[in-house]
Amino acid sequence: MPNILCKHGLKALAAALLAASAALPAHAGKTVDAIKARGQLVCGVNTGLVGFAAADSSGQWSGLDVDVCRAVAAALLGDAGKVKYVPLNAQQRFTALQSGEIDLLSRNTTFSLTRDASLGLHVTTPIYYDGQGFMVPAKSNIKNPRQLKGQTVCVQSGTTTEKNLTDFSRANKLGIKPVVFEKLEAATSAYFSGRCVAYTTDASGLASIRNKEARKQADHVILPELISKEPLGPLVRRGDDDWLAIVKWTLYGLIEAEEYGITQANVDQLKASSTDPVVQRMLGQTEDTGRLLGLDKEWLVRALKATGHYGEMFERHVGPKSALALPRGLNNQWNKGGLMYAMPIR
């Protein structure tokens, strides 16, 4: 009998300790401490990809990846404007994050095993599900990638795109001749000058490049067939779980806010009047989820005020009414036929 009581007592004690530890606020990691000390988030972005990260003539950055930086800064620092944007090409991006030059890499980067497991980096969660495609001149009459047998294709080095092109050519015995460039601008210039029969990158990138570089968009066709999966999203350095959690859960919060109809315009109204227990919890009315992240209870409210929910970000920068006019497709909510599925904020 005493042994049974002892066993039950130990179980009760273990459960109590676990519950107590779960209630404790997260300790800010070294990255969070550094960001707070400088009062600014340093975010690595593309050198210029319309819809994802591009600066206007006055140096103001905008795009889906830029909004990620703004939302995280709002959640952590209370101000979406406290971001320093560092433009990086494909070769520079991982080194900049590994070395600590940037805090967050939000640069249309594909998640892969190698990048997650061998570069000292952590993937967070996809913010755009994409796939690799091809752009060809309309006058070429090419309708699918298999018609590129023996042809030249412009591609940027240091990317999953380059490897996928080689794999696709080899698997289909096409003998495609890659023309490789270190810089995006050099690769696109070569394609538009006629040096290559086709240009290949993520389909969203093709739409952005065509919008920015083509004299007439109708002169260039993006082939409908995709040859790979390209889940794009931000990355952080390994070794700081607290920072990883803040970035990851800010993104989940933006995705889940769309599911529950919390917008940039109505967040204050819902915070004051909603009776939905999920909405109340997300907006800090019934639970302080921020404590678990080392933040305050208004963390998600601030992020939503800065950028709106995920769907608003998508429509503003890359959606059907934007310059890129991309369909929502796989990037729709999970309950509307897409893949956007947030872990519950609870």
Contact between residue 262 and residue 270 where contact means Cβ atoms under 8 Å apart: yes
Contact between residue 54 and residue 62 where contact means Cβ atoms under 8 Å apart: yes
> How much is the pLDDT for 13?
43
Angle at which helices 64-77 and 310-317 pack, to 10 degrees? 140
> How much is the pLDDT for 97?
98
Give the domains, in start order, of the chain with CATH numbers.
Answer: 30-129+232-336 (3.40.190.10), 132-228 (3.40.190.10)
pLDDT for 6 beyond 70: no
pLDDT for 141 beyond 60: yes
7-63 residue pLDDT tens:
454 444 444 434 444 444 445 589 999 999 999 999 999 999 999 999 999 999 999
For residue 222, which of 150, 131, 157 has the smallest C-alpha distance? 131
Tokens encoding 81: 């404007």
Angle at alpha carbon of residue 95, lines to 100 and 303, rounded to 5°: 55
- Rounded distance between C-alpha atoms, residue 288 and residue 297, angstroms: 5
Contact between residue 201 and residue 130 where contact means Cβ atoms under 8 Å apart: no
- Rounded distance between C-alpha atoms, residue 93 and residue 13, angstroms: 48
What is the layout of strands, in order, in the sheet containing 152-156? 177-181, 152-156, 198-202, 132-137, 220-222
> How much is the pLDDT for 29?
81
> How much is the pLDDT for 158?
87
Residue 10's Cβ-side half-sphere holds a number of Cα atoms within 13 Å equal to 5
User: What percent of the chain is predicted at pLDDT more than 90?
Assistant: 90
- Rounded distance between C-alpha atoms, residue 146 and residue 2, angstroms: 76
> How much is the pLDDT for 160?
92
**DSSP label of 335:** G
199-232 residue pLDDT tens:
999 999 999 999 999 999 999 999 999 999 999 9
Tracing tokens 């004299």 back to the chain, one arrives at 215
- Rounded distance between C-alpha atoms, residue 143 and residue 93, angstroms: 34
Looking only at the bridges linking them, the beta strands covering 230-232 and 128-130 are antiparallel
207-224 residues labelled b (16+ CB within 10 A) or e (exposed): bbbbeebbeeeeebbbbe
Averaged pLDDT, 315-329: 96
78-113 residue pLDDT tens:
999 999 999 999 999 999 999 999 999 999 999 999
Element (H, E) at 46: strand 41-46
The alpha-helical segments, DSSP class H, found in the chain are 2-23, 30-38, 64-77, 93-99, 113-117, 160-171, 184-192, 203-213, 241-259, 267-273, 277-282, 299-307, 310-317
Tracing tokens 């993520």 back to the chain, one arrives at 202
- Rounded distance between C-alpha atoms, residue 77 and residue 32, angstroms: 10
3-state secondary structure of 48: coil
For residue 154, which of 121, 195, 199 has the smallest C-alpha distance? 199
234-289 residue pLDDT tens:
999 999 999 999 999 999 999 999 999 999 999 999 999 999 999 999 999 999 99
Could you write out the three-class secondary structure of 104-138?
EECCCCECCHHHHHCCCEEECCCCEEECEEEEEEH
Tokens encoding 192: 């538009």
- What one-letter code names the amino acid at 84? K
